[in-house]
Amino acid sequence: MRDSAPLLRLTAISKSFPGVRALDGVDLTVGAGEVVALIGENGAGKSTLMKILNGIYQPDGGEIALDGAPVPFPTPHAALSRGVSMVHQEPKLCLALSVTENVLIGRLPKGRLGAIDWRRAHERTRELLQRVGMRVEPTTATERLSIAERQLLQIAKALASDSRLIVLDEPTASLTPVEVDVLFGIVRDLQAGGVSFIYISHHLEEIFRIAQSVSVLKDGRKVADRKVAETTKEELLSLMVGRDLGNRFPAKGRRPGAPALEVRNLTGRGFRNVSFRVHKGEVVGIAGLVGAGRTELARAIFGADPIKGGEILVNGKPATIRNPADAIGLGVAYIAEDRRDGLFMPLPVRENITVVAPEAIATNGIIRERTQKSIALDYIKRLNIRTPSGEQPIRFLSGGNQQKCILARWIIKGVQTIIFDEPTRGIDVGAKTEIYRLIDQLASEGKAVILISSELPEILGMSDRVLVMERGRLSGEVDGHEATEENLLALALPTNTPSHELQP
């Protein structure tokens, strides 16, 4: 596939921000029709590099060459006009507008008098949608598309500008396994047509399915290039973190105690007739495809959304939970799927940590700031939260450290049951391991833990028992020691799914 001059060659790219050397002499080569994976912990420099490639940042040094000729990329628009485009993790789309407008934005065909030629626009869009395997009407409002469809729409948009190189940033983060298969099929088709991809992902398994080569970034330097066929997941992991991780998950050996939380025939929007029990000192995983109703179930238990029927028992007693405050009062906490639903971005770490426990920091509604500060610092230390001080606005912290702040909150509150909803989504490997250790420690200290996760290794590694949801109902329960990716997937996938899709 490769000829003498590669499609893209980055040479010695460097970029510094005040106080940080984000990139230090990074080289990267992408051949025509090649899929190159780019991996590294959060903060390793992946985003910075991609922003330079897309003309969002200017490098301090180094060279970008397309087809062997050096090119400047002064603006995103210029990058686009040279055939480089980016598919963002969280699509930046105009949701109220039609699919056509989003796909052809900035290049809608004009007719007479400069008015938009809608017939031509919709035709062209239909053509592009077909290339990415989408069967929606071009006039559909974009907000009605699923997350997966929005990813594909972005690829269609990239094709609309005749992109030869598409950067996929964590494209599968919110996709179900079936949707991932569809996406990969399309990537392969386009690849066969000569389109190249840079594929950024935390899912190392995916790299082995889709990429030909992989480049590893660490602390702003490129530490390795490998042919995918000649490397292993373990090697990549150790290259990323610079040390052998050993077992990523803490050993299980917990002893469940009395029931902490029980639901009976719980029904609400997105789930029905769900019954299960969680004991003190136990981690119960909830597996399932995206959209199986896990988040909806968790939010309903927590009082964030209404329930339509069934019972919730806390410590064996029937409980009335009408809002999150009720649930918190009963010792039940929920850590939201989208981390931003838990953070007060402009406020300092100190307040973000203590926000749910006014009783710990205030008397008669008046805050004792010194107590608040010392509690916050205490937990910053205990949970190893990396922040210059308790006064740092939380928006400056990395995802993993933000997540630890949220966790600190509930530990201070002294809740009995914690529901984690995708607690490690989008955070780097090192921080993930820390979160796992914290979850294990909480359970060992007698907390009841519910762990909702779409990452099967995480469910397998952490859970004493695994519940599986499928289209709003509980489809099965598997003991933690007997659970495998295969038997969980079999329960998670819709029963009428052809068997060849069961392969993980």
Partner 1 sequence: MTEQSPPIAGPGAGAASATSARSVNWTGYLVQYSNVLALVAILVVASILSPYFFSSRNIFNVLRGATMVGIVAVGMTYVILNRGIDLSVGSLVGLSAALTASFAQHGLLVAASIGLASGLALGLANGLMITALRLQPFIATLGMMIFARGLVFVYTGGSNIVVDNPTDAFSFLGSGYAGPIPVPVLVFIAIWAVAAWVLRYTVFGRSIYAVGANEEAARLSGINADRNKILVYCISGVLAAFAGVVMASRLTVGEPNGGTLYELDAIAAVLIGGTTFDGGVGSVHGTVLGILILAFLSNVLNLLNISPYSQMLLKGVIIVLAVVVSEWRKRK
Q: Are 101 and 107 in contact (CB under 8 A)?
A: no
Residue with Cβ nearer partner 1 (56 or 355): 355
Q: Which of residues 299-318 bind partner 1 (CB under 8 A)?
A: 302, 304
343: contact with partner 1 by CB under 8 A: yes
Query: By three-state DSSP, how is residue 485 classified?
Result: helix
Residue with Cβ nearer partner 1 (160 or 333): 333
Q: State the chain's maximal CA–CA distance in angstroms.
A: 75
Residue with Cβ nearer partner 1 (211 or 343): 343
Name which of 166, 169, 164 is nearest 42 in CA terms.
169
Q: Which of residues 439-478 bind partner 1 (CB under 8 A)?
A: 441-442, 445, 447
Query: By three-state DSSP, how is residue 469 classified?
Result: strand
Q: How far is the CB of 385 from partner 1 (least distance, A)?
A: 9
The stretch among 101-109, 152-160, 213-221, 379-387 that binds partner 1 (CB under 8 A) is: 379-387
Cα separation, 218 vs 124, whole angstroms = 42
DSSP labels for 71-86? Answer: ----SHHHHHHTTEEE
389: contact with partner 1 by CB under 8 A: yes
DSSP labels for 264-322? Answer: EEEEETTEEEEEEEEETTEEEEEEE-TTSSHHHHHHHHTTSS-EEEEEEEETTEEE--S
Residue with Cβ nearer partner 1 (381 or 500): 381
With a CB cutoff of 8 Å and minimum separation 6, the contacts of 309 are 265, 266, 267, 268
How many C-beta atoms surround the C-beta of residue 5 within 10 A? 14
Q: Which amino acid is at 38?
A: L
414: contact with partner 1 by CB under 8 A: yes
Number of residues written out for the chain? 504
Cα separation, 474 vs 486, whole angstroms = 17
Structure tokens at 5: 């001059």
H/E stretch holding 36 reads strand 35-39
Among 430, 471, 473, 487, binds partner 1 (CB under 8 A): 430
424: contact with partner 1 by CB under 8 A: no
**DSSP bridge pairs for 168:** 87, 199
Among 267, 374, 398, 487, binds partner 1 (CB under 8 A): 374
Among 89, 100, 387, 401, binds partner 1 (CB under 8 A): 387
351: contact with partner 1 by CB under 8 A: yes
The stretch among 25-33, 98-106, 323-331, 484-492 that binds partner 1 (CB under 8 A) is: 323-331
How many C-beta atoms surround the C-beta of residue 315 within 10 A? 16
438: contact with partner 1 by CB under 8 A: yes
Residue with Cβ nearer partner 1 (188 or 322): 322
225: contact with partner 1 by CB under 8 A: no
323: contact with partner 1 by CB under 8 A: yes
Residue with Cβ nearer partner 1 (22 or 328): 328
295: contact with partner 1 by CB under 8 A: no
Q: How far is the CB of 422 from partner 1 (least distance, A)?
A: 15
Among 160, 383, 459, 474, binds partner 1 (CB under 8 A): 383
Cα separation, 216 vs 190, whole angstroms = 24
Residues that bind partner 1 (CB under 8 A): 302, 304, 323-325, 327-329, 334, 336, 340-347, 351, 355-356, 358, 362, 365-367, 369, 374, 377-378, 380-384, 387-390, 409, 411, 414, 430, 433-434, 438, 441-442, 445, 447
